[in-house]
Amino acid sequence: MALLPAWYFDESKMAGVDFKSIDQVEAFDQKQLSSTPEKEQALVARLGIGSGHTVVDLGAGTGAFAIRAALSGAAVVHAVDISQAMLTYAENKAQQAGVEQIQFHRAGFLTYDHEGNLADFVISKYALHILPDFWKMVAFLQIASILKPGGVFYLRDVIFSFPPSQYEAGINAWIERAAKPEGWTASDYELHVREEHSTFAWIIEGMLTRAGFEVAEANYLSPTAAEYRCIKSGI
């Protein structure tokens, strides 16, 4: 990557939870119930990922989605994550699953330097909230630049669709509903709201459109989670 200007965002200084050790990654893997092999496989199938596709997973975590995409026949899957501990864990899992077409990259949304074929699919789940909004926009522009025209960008994250004036009730209801004594606790969610950068759906949607995406599908999974299937325009 070219030398970055002094004002560029430093992704290595992560907001919120920093996955520095294998112990932290293992604990994360236990709690991340939104990611099971069955759920990841269903998403791979729903998106239509299969033979010959080039796939990029940004904030790939423990590699669960990347492994299912590879097992479904993708030609190459680029699993990108800022945490070396996550990548090491994901690489071990991929070896155990016997998949060879995953390339692991220690990089962030803003610093990943894509080489090879343009991507048919870029996906990012529960990771983009790490960036403040200005840098989310930069990330969307970069994602658009590595996708083929007509390629798909799938985004799922903690994204708020409650009315802005009801932010207090919206956040409190989320923590009350989602927090478990084991798994993600109330203090995990409090830290997320306090230190990370989840934002409103209308802001995300405005940015996606300005980055050159058509939002083909928007699902508000709850008042605090949303998913988007976007098509890179230009065909």
Which positions touch ligand SAM (CB under 6 A)? 11, 14, 19, 32, 35, 58-61, 80-83, 86, 108-109, 125-127, 130
- Residue 160 DSSP symbol: B
Smallest distance from ligand SAM to CB 218, Å = 19
Our CB check for ligand SAM shows the closer of 51 and 154 to be: 154
Contact present, 80 and 55 (Cβ < 8 Å): no
- Give Cβ neighbours of residue 102 (< 8 Å, ≥ 6 apart): 63, 66, 67, 70, 76, 77, 78, 79, 90, 91, 94
Residue nearest to ligand SAM (CB): 61
Our CB check for ligand SAM shows the closer of 126 and 220 to be: 126
Cα 216 to Cα 92, 112, 150, 193, distances in angstroms = 35, 25, 11, 28
* Count of alpha carbons within 13 angstroms of residue 41, beta-carbon side: 5
Smallest distance from ligand SAM to CB 19, Å = 5
Our CB check for ligand SAM shows the closer of 60 and 230 to be: 60
Smallest distance from ligand SAM to CB 80, Å = 6
Smallest distance from ligand SAM to CB 234, Å = 25
Of 111, 113, 110, 130, the residue nearest 18 (C-alpha): 130
Our CB check for ligand SAM shows the closer of 4 and 52 to be: 4
